[in-house]
Amino acid sequence: MIHVVQAALNGVVKGVEMKIVLRNLSFSYVSASRERKIFENVNFTFGSDRVYSIMGPSGTGKTTLFKLLSNDLEPSEGTILFDDRDSHTLKPQYVRSHIISRIYQDYLLVPYMTAGENILLSREILGTKTSLEEKENAHHLLDLVGIGNLKDTPVRLLSGGEQQRVCIARALASQVPILLADEPTGALDKENTLKIGELLRKVAHERSITVLVATHDPLLAEEVDEQCVIDNFRINSVA
Ligand SMILES: Nc1ncnc2c1ncn2[C@@H]1O[C@H](COP(=O)(O)OP(=O)(O)OP(=O)(O)O)[C@@H](O)[C@H]1O
């Protein structure tokens, strides 16, 4: 297992660390009929080389935080800095291709493509031919999340937990400094939850990246370096 981990992490640009600074961040959803406040004057820094859990009851704003960080939403007030760069001076496409990789709650896989093809898809969308090394790396990543034997299986034939692990492998394939994982173990059993927690920590430390994990799962939260909770429109570190 260890040599597989090492192989898959090889070739990854190390030292691409980047911290996330939320400065006086406020955000509300506003529609004609109502305003739904999510964040109010949040000041928080997520440092690199670390895995953070983002917890809080359903509807408190975990996914909203990830959408703000990905430039899918714009803060109502305040700023999000990637190191010292204001995220809103950056194009959303640039943020998604160079800064942030996401593991989505609803997977977003192409059902008729295989697990391996789904991992390489972003390269193909960009019209870039995938190298043999990238293909091997994709297979190593599938090994790493425990489904290497399913690399040639169309995703529509995989179980929920297997599809979830394809998403994790896909996110790990991109070499960016920030990884956002939304409920990455929601469909997994205890054993695989612990393995994914361990893997995320290993990746964060070996690549020096910043990993944020939105989760309701106390088991996964135990695996992270720092637990955070969204409460009363703020983000607080749990001592
Ligand atoms: N586009 C939108 N317009 C208005 N309200 C929205 C919109 N998207 C989300 N909300 C509301 O904002 C709140 C926060 O949603 P969000 O998805 O961030 O919560 P969450 O903490 O990730 O929840 P869960 O744990 O259930 O996934 C919820 O009350 C939700 O209904």
ipTM: 0.98
58 lines ligand 1 (CB under 6 A): yes
CB 49 within 8 A of CB 14: no
pLDDT at 104: 87
Q: 87 CB less than 6 Å from ligand 1?
A: no
- Using only C-alpha atoms, the chain has a radius of gyration, in whole angstroms, of 18
Say which CATH class 2-237 falls into. alpha beta
Q: Where are the domains of the chain?
A: 2-237
Q: Which residues of the chain fall below pLDDT 70?
A: 1-15, 123-128, 239
Q: How far is the CA of 107 from the centre of ligand 1 (A)?
A: 18
Query: What is the spatial distance between Cα 84 and Cα 77, in angstroms, rounded to a whole number?
Result: 17
Q: Confirm or reject: Cβ of 59 under 6 Å from ligand 1.
A: yes
* pLDDT tens-digit series, residues 166-182: 998 998 888 899 999 99
Return all residues near 77 (Cβ < 8 A) that are at least 6 apart.
24, 25, 26, 41
Q: Is 96 in the pocket of ligand 1 (CB under 6 A)?
A: no
